[in-house]
Amino acid sequence: MFHFYTALSRWICLALLFEGRKRGSEAFVHPFKSQQHQSDIRIGEQQYFGRESRLFVVSDLESNGDDITGNATDTILSRRQSEGFSISSPGEATQRLGASAGPTVWTEFGRIAQEYDPVNLGQGFPDWLPPKFAVDSLVEAVLDSAQSPHQYTRPAGHPNLVNQLARRYSIHLKKDIDPMEEVAVTVGASQALYLSLQTLVQPGDEVILFEPFFDLYVNQVKLAGGTPVYVPLKFHPYDDNDDTVSGGEWKLDRDELMKVVSPKTKAIILNSPHNPTGKIFSRSEMEVIAESLDLAGPECVVLSDEVYKFIIHAPPKEINAGDSPLCPGHTHFASLPGMWDRTITISSAGKTFSATGWQVGW
């Protein structure tokens, strides 16, 4: 069922983004499964390895519909531990997680929320349907047997989807983007982050995270063997005498960033608009990040997580210089001078279409 829904989810997006009508289908890569396939897992007295360990992981995820990337390990471990099993020889990736291999806010609060039905502040997703055009497109795509939507396709993404993404992002970034070489489709933004970190980071490398940060990042950095290095965003309360205005702004402090960037820095994770504060990084803050890359050495890249780019609550009335032409108020880090080659831009359909379960990312 999991495979079915994943393939289905890709097609939802294809349906939304179709321009051309070419034959084909969509495959997906499951990094966690293939990783487990290589390693042995010992649970209590039972040892699972090779094919069996793979089956164990798959069935665990399938039956519970869990998040498959950063949280898969802790989901499985915490469930087994709560069932009284102990892991006597965790794999290398599990060991890298160390004490944080326990339940996360996603796994724990999600479970409790299902049980007690409270207002869940641990994890947010829309409790309304995606827009009608999206649901209608989904139904149409699923039933369109001529498009063969239920079968494998090009591993880096269905040609129609990558073409459409390249077309959109060529406008966003004011640059011609090659759909076959510069775009890859993933299982949500989560897998795009996971694969980027796995590809870039080696043990001993440092990855900079701006605090507070979306909780997925830290374990994904550790799984890749990297060391998270934290740069706190500073909260500046509004300083005025108007009783009707409250709150403040989170700001990036240049010195805090510059003092930790070094040749060991392999990646900086930027998330704007930002979860959890709602902060939108200003262009001058992004310029500071770009400048910091000079201290980091030529291989350091910025992973720019832009899943909320269409959710800007007070967008400017007019597009400012540097804003994306398609989302006022949002600056793509990759559009800064010289930053195209230093950026992996990550996004997904979930937030934009109020459909977080579809897990279509790029």
Ligand X SMILES: Cc1ncc(COP(=O)(O)O)c(C=O)c1O
- Encoded tokens for 234: 């500073």
244 burial via Cβ count (<10 Å: 0-12, 13-18, 19+): exposed
For residues 216 and 196, the answer to whether their CB atoms sit within 8 Å is: no
- Binding residue for ligand X (CB under 6 A) from 348, 352, 353, 362? 348
Q: Smallest distance, Å, CB 197 to ligand X? A: 13
In this structure, which long-range contacts are made by residues 278-282, counting pairs with CB atoms below 8 Å and at least 24 apart in sequence?
Answer: 278/313, 279/233, 279/249, 279/250, 280/312, 280/329, 280/330, 281/252, 281/331
- d(CA 295, CA 179) in angstroms, rounded, equals 32
Q: Check binding of 188 to ligand X (CB under 6 A).
A: yes
- Taking contact as CB under 6 A, which single stretch among the options 29-37, 86-94, 183-191, 246-254 is the one that binds ligand X? 183-191
* Residue showing tokens 């960033």: 257
Q: Smallest distance, Å, CB 244 to ligand X? A: 30
Q: Which residue is nearest to ligand X (CB)?
A: 188
Q: Smallest distance, Å, CB 337 to ligand X? A: 25
Q: Check binding of 350 to ligand X (CB under 6 A).
A: yes
Q: Check binding of 305 to ligand X (CB under 6 A).
A: yes
- Binding residue for ligand X (CB under 6 A) from 275, 324, 335, 352? 275
Q: Smallest distance, Å, CB 213 to ligand X? A: 8
* Residue showing tokens 């909260």: 235
Q: Smallest distance, Å, CB 303 to ligand X? A: 10
Assign 352 to helix, strand or coil. coil
For residues 226 and 269, the answer to whether their CB atoms sit within 8 Å is: no
Residue type, 347: S
- d(CA 318, CA 321) in angstroms, rounded, equals 10
Q: Smallest distance, Å, CB 199 to ligand X? A: 17
Q: Check binding of 110 to ligand X (CB under 6 A).
A: no
Q: Smallest distance, Å, CB 361 to ligand X? A: 5
Q: Check binding of 356 to ligand X (CB under 6 A).
A: yes
Helix pair 72-82, 216-223: axis angle to 10 deg: 100
Q: Which is nearer to ligand X, 103 or 350 (CB)?
A: 350
Q: Which is nearer to ligand X, 149 or 350 (CB)?
A: 350
Q: Smallest distance, Å, CB 25 to ligand X? A: 21
- Taking contact as CB under 6 A, which single stretch among the options 96-104, 110-118, 292-300, 354-362 is the one that binds ligand X? 354-362
The helix or strand, by DSSP H or E, that contains position 303, with its residue range, turns out to be strand 301-305
- Taking contact as CB under 6 A, which single stretch among the options 32-40, 58-66, 186-194, 249-257 is the one that binds ligand X? 186-194
- Binding residue for ligand X (CB under 6 A) from 9, 104, 147, 190? 190
Bin 174: left if φ > 0, else alpha if -120 < ψ < 50, else beta. left
Q: Which is nearer to ligand X, 285 or 305 (CB)?
A: 305
Assign 12 to helix, strand or coil. helix
Q: Smallest distance, Å, CB 238 to ligand X? A: 25
- Binding residue for ligand X (CB under 6 A) from 134, 138, 296, 307? 307
Q: Check binding of 214 to ligand X (CB under 6 A).
A: yes
Give the closest residue to 46 by CA, choosing from 72, 79, 80, 96: 80
For residues 19 and 160, the answer to whether their CB atoms sit within 8 Å is: yes
Cα torsion at 189, 194, 196, 198 (round to 10°)?
Answer: -170
- Taking contact as CB under 6 A, which single stretch among the options 82-90, 175-183, 194-202, 353-361 is the one that binds ligand X? 353-361
Residues in binding contact with ligand X, number by CB under 6 A:
13
- d(CA 146, CA 24) in angstroms, rounded, equals 9
By CB under 6 A, name the binding residues for ligand X.
188-190, 214, 271, 275, 305, 307, 348, 350, 356, 359, 361
